[in-house]
Chain A
């Protein structure tokens, strides 16, 4: 008799509900010739000088394991980068860990800090893997609703109201996926104060740090007296168009890094050496190519935000990442209905806001990391769609 596999998978994994938008993805795969505003990655290939550095490293035989923490040269460059950009001092030998993207950094963090039942407070909507990583590590995600009226910023008071004796950490990610929200220094400082009052760790996912428009990005660790208890997660994917390389980093207190490295060495061993070499080149001389990308994104951002508002999908002016997060409430449809119908009727792909949490209902995520011509065509199709379905 064969063994029944059903029911033998981990209860903890089963706890994570299958994505509600699976059906949407299946539908998407069946339709040809769509314009996609659903892609959360740059539409530029990695700048050539970075690719060339990786190719050269292969030619030179850089094909081995590296130190668990990452290549010393990369950690040194990263340390210098954090010093130059934020005036932050991180010891390359004990306070930095090179990870396989921020995704791994997030997973390691949660597994390194959480005990069963520990709570982690985070904004809703937020990036899809935040709550999943907490659950997989045995913790409980506690969601703080955010909305368009407050530009999808999370309020310190709302966080504090949810602190219990089980709360271990606050998890934020600004500039934000899916909303494009950026938090001001003052508002982040209020969150830092809450963390200090209640002795909480703060995990700050700053993968979009370089993608801000007309505002300054505040690195959370630069706030007064908060560096030691902040776990800063960053990477190269968005600013240097390196998504497929899977390379990122964590910067934190050495005890936290040592704990994270313990898991990392047994599960990942090290990030791929080729990606590490590419990251060194990105840090050494990637600034100018990254600045050009930001200029180009800004033009697209202004075009899409204006365009969405013009067709009647009210949209706050997001100042970061490459997302606009318009309200579709005027159509009377749910986010999923809207995304599905838009895909079928006009062949434009957007992501239902509910993919990112309950508070994403009534919104869709539109990524503007795509050509201006496609953005304008998508806007015109969406305009036609909204007109047709508008509730009188």
Chain B
């Protein structure tokens, strides 16, 4: 049941416990309890929105940074990852397989700000062997949502 509830919330975080109760046939207070518990144990991390900031003329600069690191005895990549993700500028941090190890998504107000973060904070961390910075030029799709030119469903008003 919890998976069903989480699926509904992931799609629309504003769905109320009462609505979920109707959709799943679980009593409303039971749904509320499950959600509370999921918030408490951090299964649900946060409720947020997907916003197209360009619409209000507020453009943030985003960069994807490939980071090559030397793993350390006992802790592997985790301690270096932690040193990186503690910076609020690092919005997402992932460990990947392949030619580099960590992928860090960085947001800043200007290109300069992002570049400064990489050169002054990220690259000098002990164990970081090299970085490659890719600035994001255009966002087409975010979390499953197409930003511009989403197709309309055109249907006749009544079909028997």
Contacts and interface: CB of A to CB of B under 8 A. Distances in A.
A39 B151 contact: no
A43 B22 contact: no
Interface string B1-39: 000000110001000000100111100000000000000
B155 interface: yes
B159 interface: yes
Nearest to A28: B157
Interface string A354-365: 011000000000
Nearest to A38: B158
A43 B155 contact: yes
> Which of A34, A39, A307 has most B Cβ within 10 Å?
A39
B153 A44 contact: yes
Interface of B: 7-8, 12, 19, 22-25, 151, 153, 155-160
Interface stretch (A93-101, A167-175, A298-306, A384-392): A298-306
A41 B159 contact: yes
Contacts of B159: 38-41
5 contacts: A34-B157, A40-B160, A303-B22, A303-B23, A307-B22
Given A299-B8, A299-B23, A303-B22, A351 B157 contact: no
Given A40-B160, A128-B160, A355-B160, A303 B19 contact: yes
Given A299-B8, A299-B23, A303-B23, A349 B157 contact: yes
Given A28-B157, A306-B22, 12 more contacts: A25-B158, A29-B157, A38-B159, A44-B153, A45-B151, A128-B160, A295-B7, A298-B23, A299-B24, A303-B23, A307-B22, A355-B160
Interface size class of A (residues with CB under 8 A): 20 to 34
B24 A302 contact: yes
Contact of B157 (A38, A44, A303): A38
B160 A41 contact: no
A185 to B, nearest CB: 24
A128 B153 CA distance: 25
Nearest to A34: B157
A276 interface: no
Nearest to A339: B158
B153 A43 contact: yes
Contact of A349 (B12, B25, B158): B158
